[in-house]
Amino acid sequence: MIISKRFAAGAGALLAALAAGLALPAGAAAGEPTGEDAPKVDLVLDVSGSMRTRDIDGGSRMAAAKRAFNEVLDATPDEVRLGIRTLGADYPGDDKKRGCQDTARLYPVGPLDRTEAKAAVATLAPTGWTPIGPALLAAADDLDGGTGSRRIVLISDGEDTCAPLDPCEVAREIAAKGIGLTIDTLGLVPNAKMRQQLSCIAEATGGTYTSVEHADELTDRVSQLVDRAAEPVVTPVATEGADTCAKAPELTSGLFTDRAEFGQQRWYRVQVPPGKELRASVSVSADRAVAPSYGVLLRAVTGHGREIVRGEAAGDGRTDVVSTGLRYPEAEAGDEDEETAEAVCLQVTHSFAARAGVKTTPGLPLELTVDVVDGPSDADDVASFGLGRGWWLLGVLVLVGFLAGLVWGWVSRWRVAVWRTN
């Protein structure tokens, strides 16, 4: 029983690692860090009056945000320098000029004291306006200095109330400075205008927009973004997929961006040398209102059109991004085979559907990661999902257990026979 439990736990860990390998190819092959300085993250939280609304799992939006922040603070990697900034937390009045200056540094960007940061979050109460633009400008100043990665994570439940300072224009100005700062945005309600504004902010800096309607989703997404700050920074390369495999652009290991029209197939080509393994993943995000049911398909196909392997995933409208991945190990060349790379075509198809009255052009943002790494050492490793000689140990344990059972049964029968004779 103990052996079975340990084996089950090991198998579970193995499958989890395999799934992670599908989604996240090795960072060293795809890009390099921007520098040796510690990565910085500024969490920018909307504390305007609308955050009192109780529509997230039966509780208020503010309660969900506080819970998410507390869990994220517990899980923040030690190497990340994290800070917290608020907008709309202090001024409850009707003076727009004062309300649009209502952004404050709740916890400075630096080494994290979890107890102190949680105590600061506990004091927050929904109060005033929604000055997103001024908050982004101040957050960029919070992250100033150093050569490490810098990321703003903006959480809001409404659009900016401080026009004409357009937060999308603010994001473009920040991007134009060339300081490598990324802004990711999370919207707490399915509001079309807010979605458009937050998507624009994120897209201007190469970030992501996600709509969340449940507390667990908010916690998970913020944690992912904070963890991402500690990963090697990769500069995406713009590419344009073709409508057929024969015309597909040839890609090497790296991160690529494209746009996929509704109902359109996008093709890319990768050369996979003998003994190497192709790992690829794709994410498609909705930057406009779409139908709640959608999916994405990633296929690896030979130059002759034969499917090698596929990855697919579906969404139900709870998030705006759907991702999938695949792995393909190319066997070693034989003695008589030529040491030539195999051309593998990657086909990306999504089933997003635009809602009535929504523009269908340009296509939806697509992010494709490609990595060609050393493959398994032999065919047995592929067949055994990387366990290798561990299968021999498992076989020995099974055989020993079987023999032990036979011996124990024979001894038991002998003892019973002796007992009856006496």
pLDDT, tens digit (0-9, with 9 covering 90-100), for 262-311: 888 999 999 999 888 898 989 888 878 888 888 899 999 998 889 999 99
| Predicted confidence (pLDDT) per residue in 360-410, tens digit | 888 888 989 898 887 654 444 433 334 444 455 566 667 777 777 777 777
Residue range 67-118, pLDDT digits in tens? 999 999 999 999 999 999 999 999 988 898 899 999 999 999 999 999 999 9
What is the second-level CATH architecture of the domain 36-229? 3-Layer(aba) Sandwich (3.40)
Burial class of residue 419 in the structure, from the number of CB atoms within 10 Å of its CB (0-12 exposed, 13-18 middle, 19+ buried): exposed
Beta-strand ranges (E) seen in 126-230 are 150-156, 181-187, 209-211
pLDDT of 419: 64
* pLDDT value of position 269: 95
Query: Closest Cα to residue 154, out of 192, 176, 184?
Result: 184
Quote the DSSP letter at residue 9: H
- What span, in angstroms and rounded, lies between the C-alpha atoms of 151 and 6? 40
| pLDDT beyond 50 at 210 | yes
pLDDT in tens, 242-255: 999 999 999 999 88
pLDDT score of 86: 95
Q: What is the pLDDT of residues 25-70, one digit of tens each?
A: 333 333 333 445 889 999 999 999 999 999 888 899 999 999 999 9
The pLDDT of residue 18 is 34
Are 99 and 249 within 8 A, CB to CB? no
pLDDT higher than threshold 80 for residue 224: yes
**pLDDT at site 165:** 82
- pLDDT given for residue 207 in this prediction: 84
Residue 319 pLDDT: 62
Q: Please, what is the average pLDDT of the chain? A: 80
Start-to-end CA span in the chain (Å) = 36
CATH topology of domain 237-379: Jelly Rolls (2.60.120)
What residues contact 295, with CB distance under 8 A and at least 6 apart? 312, 313, 314, 315, 322, 350, 351
Cross-strand bridge partners of residue 309: 300
Query: What are the sequence ranges of the domains in the chain?
Result: 36-229, 237-379
In angstroms, the CA 73 to CA 88 distance is 22
Please report the pLDDT score of residue 378 as a whole number: 44
- The interaxial angle of helices 167-176 and 192-204, nearest 10 deg, is 10
Predicted confidence (pLDDT) at residue 145 exceeds the cutoff of 60:
yes
Three-state SS string over 337-386 comes to: CCCCCEEEEEEEEECCCECCCCCCCCCEEEEEEEEEEECCCCHHHHHCCC
Q: Please determine, for residue 154, whether its predicted confidence score (pLDDT) is greater than 50.
A: yes
Is residue 410 within a helix (H) or strand (E), and if so which, with residue range? helix 390-421
Higher-confidence residue of 176 and 173: namely 173
Is the separation of the CB atoms in 211 and 320 below 8 Å? yes
Look at residues 133, 130, 114, 104 and name the one whose alpha carbon lies nearest to residue 69: 114
User: For the whole model, what pTM was predicted?
Assistant: 0.55
Q: What is the mean pLDDT of residues 321-346?
A: 76
